[in-house]
Amino acid sequence: MEYVSDIVDPKTRSRMMANIKGKNTKPEMAIRSALHRMGYRFRLHRKDLPGKPDIVLPKHRAVLFVNGCFWHGHFCSLFKWPKTREEFWREKILSNKKRDQQNIRLLTDKGWRVCIVWECSIRKRTTEDVHEVIESLTKWIEGSKSIKEITL
């Protein structure tokens, strides 16, 4: 496990973390924009579905979650366990992961197909890399596979 020491005081860090958005993030907007350009029509953040998926494609009975690597505990280069308030963060991130798994199970039980697109597959990537992600995503949307995860 890799830890990172904080370079700002706790009050500043708290303010910074509170300002992080849960909806309409840059990776989510990139996916939405690409799908819309390709002719896909979708709904956003449907509250009647478990986990309020970021993108819902009713015609394809498919939902997409665009997950931030830190908040959802994706063990990639973008995730580091915080050094401060370790117990709080461990509990928070592990409960997010548990809730994610529960939401996926509930969605698949209701007949929805689920795709997780990780932030690391989009963030700071070349246009070609992002194009590959979108291509993989559209193949999944048009296919019949129940669950897909797109990562680095």
Q: Which domains does the chain have, with CATH numbers?
A: 3-150 (3.40.960.10)
Residue 48 in this model has a pLDDT that exceeds 90: yes
Q: Provide, rounded to the nearest whole percent, the portion of the chain with pLDDT above 70.
A: 86
**Which of 8-12, 76-80, 120-124, 143-147 has the weakest average pLDDT?**
8-12
100-123: average pLDDT: 96
What region, left, alpha or beta, does residue 149 occupy, with left being phi > 0 and alpha being psi -120 to 50 degrees?
A: beta
CA distance 68 to 85: 20
Confidence of residue 4 (pLDDT cuts 50, 70, 90): low
> In terms of pLDDT, which residue wins out, 29 or 128?
29
